[in-house]
């Protein structure tokens, strides 16, 4: 049995006939906030290759609560918990990180970011020293989830992660690159977010090569808060399930689901949030594959475009003095707020649809863009806050 190989011209002819127009690309094209070119038809990608992860299988991380010890093998800790054995522990509290007593049977990873988020533009040297003295597998976190939740574009998130890494190498030497955990928030643009994680693997490897290393980044991916709403927790659950799936398919080393309830969190809502990961892992086994999206012409192409744009922005940041210098001048904050305001306007205009907020809503703007965003600080803002 043989198959007929169709060409781009064959496809264009068929679509023109179906849409009854010659302007098919005008109809099929769709704008996006990243200025990425998305084609309606892909044929090949000669640069396809599988991108590995650090961990053999993705850690499914739960916020600790009594009763989950038998179901969870990785925990996010904000306070000390005794008696844990053979667990992966992700430490989320600077004070806990400084004082925790490690157990030999557990593995420890720090999510603590040592950068200030304001115009003081400092690296906390005391905290850095304390973290680097600990017997953790990875001692310092680079928190890019804050940037995503504040409204930064994917390109900005990736460039900022590289720029912060570069600042740390200048402070502590290239060996610090092997001690980092990158914390990303995953939004609702399913394939773009998949490509984001994949692009960062390329980018970080390239950065490490500048220091004569060949490293894979350790990526901790969590569900975004930016697209979640107070009034529709069930929709939040659907959104976060897709975000988790995107992160697992892209080979994040650990995934974590924030509580799908924005208000009135309960032990049950936290447990349900965690068990989304269990369902995905046990029903689809997507936490064990190595780069399942490799070979997808669409995802590979977006990955390449994001990587190129992010590396270009990273070099521009370095030419202007680097992350800390631009944080001190307020340029980093301005970049994020300007991008966030553009995204917020797309929500207000209905170009980005949030069910129950601007799709089938009782639409009543409660806060303006100027009330939500501030050039003096990087802070998380949910898109729905304008209407709540």
Q: What is the pLDDT of residues 301-350, one digit of tens each?
A: 999 999 999 999 999 999 999 999 999 999 999 999 999 999 999 888 88
Task: Please spell the DSSP secondary structure of 251-312, one letter per residue.
Answer: T-SEEE---S-SSS--HHHHHHHHHHHHHHHHHH-TTT-S-TTTT-HHHHHHHHHHHHHHHH
Q: How confident is the model at residue 2 (pLDDT cuts 50, 70, 90)?
A: low
Tell me how far the alpha carbon of residue 168 is from its chain's centroid.
20
Mean pLDDT computed over 98-115: 95
pLDDT tens, position by position, 139-152 = 999 999 999 999 99
Distance CA 38, CA 28 (A): 10
pLDDT tens, position by position, 154-172 = 999 999 999 999 999 999 9
Q: In the chain, what are the helix, strand and coil shares in percent, each to the nearest 5?
A: 45, 10, 45
Mean pLDDT computed over 271-275: 92
Q: What is the pLDDT of residue 171?
A: 96
What count of other Cβ atoms lies within 10 Å of the Cβ of residue 205? 16
What is the overall mean pLDDT for the chain? 91
For residue 9, give both structure tokens: 């011209």
Q: What is the pLDDT of residue 50?
A: 79
pLDDT tens, position by position, 342-372 = 999 988 888 887 765 555 555 577 888 888 9
| DSSP type of residue 71 | T
Q: What is the pLDDT of residue 284?
A: 83
Strand partners, 63: 76
Q: What is the pLDDT of residue 384?
A: 84
Mean pLDDT computed over 286-296: 83
Strand partners, 166: none
Q: What is the pLDDT of residue 7?
A: 85
Q: Is 207 a residue whose pLDDT tops 90?
A: yes
Q: What is the pLDDT of residue 64?
A: 93
Beta carbons of 357 and 229 less than 8 angstroms apart: yes
Q: Is 43 a residue whose pLDDT tops 90?
A: no
Q: How confident is the model at residue 67 (pLDDT cuts 50, 70, 90)?
A: confident
Smallest Cα–Cα separation from 96: which of 117, 112, 115, 83?
112
Q: What is the pLDDT of residue 355?
A: 62
Mean pLDDT computed over 205-231: 95
Q: What is the pLDDT of residue 46?
A: 55
Mean pLDDT computed over 80-93: 94
């Amino acid at each position: 049995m043989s198959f007929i190989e169709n060409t781009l011209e064959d496809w264009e002819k068929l679509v023109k006939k179906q849409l009854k127009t010659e302007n098919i690309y005008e109809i099929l094209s769709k704008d996006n906030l990243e200025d990425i070119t998305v084609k309606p038809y892909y044929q090949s990608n000669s640069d396809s290759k599988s991108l590995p992860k650090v961990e053999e299988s993705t850690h499914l991380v739960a916020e600790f609560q009594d009763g989950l010890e038998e179901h969870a093998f990785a925990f996010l800790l904000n306070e000390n918990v005794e008696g844990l054995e053979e667990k992966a522990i992700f430490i989320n509290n600077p004070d806990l990180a400084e004082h925790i007593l490690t157990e030999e049977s557990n593995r420890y990873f720090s999510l603590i970011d040592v950068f200030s988020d304001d115009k003081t533009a400092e690296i906390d040297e005391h905290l850095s020293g304390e973290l680097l003295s600990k017997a953790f597998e990875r001692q310092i976190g680079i928190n890019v989830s804050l940037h995503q939740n504040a409204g930064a574009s994917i390109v900005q998130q990736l460039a900022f992660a590289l720029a912060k890494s570069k600042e740390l190498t200048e402070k502590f030497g290239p060996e610090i690159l092997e001690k980092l955990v990158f914390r990303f928030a995953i939004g609702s643009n399913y394939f773009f977010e998949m490509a984001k994680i994949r692009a960062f693997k390329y980018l970080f490897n390239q950065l490490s090569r500048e220091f004569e290393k060949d490293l894979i980044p350790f990526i901790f991916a969590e569900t975004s808060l930016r697209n979640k709403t107070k009034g529709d927790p069930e929709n939040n659950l659907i959104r976060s399930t897709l975000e988790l799936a995107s992160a697992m398919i892209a080979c994040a080393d650990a995934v974590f689901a924030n509580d799908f309830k924005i208000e009135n969190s309960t032990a049950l809502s936290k447990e349900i949030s965690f068990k989304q990961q269990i369902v995905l892992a046990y029903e689809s086994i997507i936490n064990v594959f190595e780069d399942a999206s490799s070979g997808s012409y669409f995802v590979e192409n977006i990955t390449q475009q994001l990587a190129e744009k992010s590396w270009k922005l990273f070099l521009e940041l370095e030419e202007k003095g680097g992350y800390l210098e631009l944080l001190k001048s307020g340029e980093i904050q301005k970049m994020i707020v300007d991008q966030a305001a553009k995204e917020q306007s797309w929500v207000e205009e209905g170009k980005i649809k949030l069910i129950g907020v601007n799709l089938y809503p009782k639409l009543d703007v409660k806060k303006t863009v100027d009330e939500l965003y501030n050039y003096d600080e990087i802070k998380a803002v949910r898109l729905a806050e304008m209407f709540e």
